[in-house]
Amino acid sequence: MTWQELWGKVLGFPTGTPEFILAAAVLLMIFVLCVFPAAAFLSLVDRKLSADVQARVGPNRAGRWGVFQPLADLMKLLQKEPARAAGWREGFWLGVLTVCLYSTAAALPLGSSLILVNTGSSPLLVFWVITALSVCLMFLGYNQNSVPGWFSGTRLAAQSLSGAFPALLSVLCVGLWAGGFEWTRIAAAQGADPAHWAIVRDPFLLLAFAVFMAGGLVVLSVPPLGSGFSLSDIKGGVASGFHGRKIAFFHLGRFYGLFLWSVIAVVCFCGAWNLPTSLSQAVENSDYGILGVKMIEPLVTIVKAAFLMLFTMLFARVMPALRSDQVTDFAWKVLSPIALVALLGTGLWTLWGGA
- 131-150 binders of another protein (CB under 8 A): 147-148
213: Cα within 13 Å, side-chain hemisphere: 21
Q: Can you tell me whether residue 224 is helix, strand or coil?
A: coil
Q: What's the closest the beta carbon of residue 56 comes to another protein, in angstroms?
A: 6
291 contacts 114 by C-beta, under 8 angstroms: no
Q: Which is nearer to another protein, 201 or 317 (CB)?
A: 317
Q: Which of 2, 79, 232, 278 binds another protein (CB under 8 A)?
A: 232
In the set 12, 16, 20, 55, which binds another protein (CB under 8 A)? 55
Cis peptide before 224 (omega within 30 of 0): yes
| Residue 53 engages another protein in binding (rule: CB under 8 A) | yes
Among 185, 243, 245, 317, the residue binding another protein under the rule CB under 8 A is: 317
Site for another protein in 65-84 (CB under 8 A): none
Buried b (16+ CB within 10 A) or exposed e, 309-319: bbebbeebeee
Distance CA 197, CA 311 (A): 19
Encode burial over 230-252: b for 16+ CB neighbours within 10 A, e otherwise: ebebebbbbbbbbeeebbbbbbb
Distance CA 40, CA 199 (A): 30
Q: From the CB of 50, what's the least distance to another protein, in Å?
A: 8
**Taking contact as CB under 8 A, which single stretch among the options 50-58, 60-68, 210-218, 277-285 is the one that binds another protein?**
50-58
Helix 289-318 to helix 244-269 angle (10° resolution) is 110
Of 52-60, 121-129, 173-181, 279-287, the window that binds another protein (rule: CB under 8 A) is 52-60
Residue of 72, 322, 340, 355 that binds another protein (CB under 8 A): 322
Beta carbon nearer to another protein, 211 or 321: 321
Q: Is 282 in the site for another protein (CB under 8 A)?
A: no
| Min dist. Cβ of residue 332 to another protein (A) | 16
Of the residues 1, 11, 37, 54, which one makes contact with another protein according to CB under 8 A: 54
| Distance separating alpha carbons of residues 21 and 6, to the nearest angstrom | 14
Half-sphere exposure of 326 (CA within 13 A, CB side): 9
Binding of residue 98 to another protein (CB under 8 A)? no
Within 8 A by CB and 6+ apart from 335, the residues are: 163, 166, 211, 214, 215, 218
CA torsion, points 301, 305, 308, 312, in degrees to nearest 10?
Answer: 170
User: Which listed residue (326, 333, 334, 351) binds another protein by CB under 8 A?
Assistant: 326
Does 8 sit near another protein (CB under 8 A)?
A: no
Q: Which is nearer to another protein, 197 or 250 (CB)?
A: 250
Q: Which parts of this chain interact with another protein (CB under 8 A)? A: 50, 53-56, 147-148, 151, 223-224, 227, 231-232, 234-236, 317-326
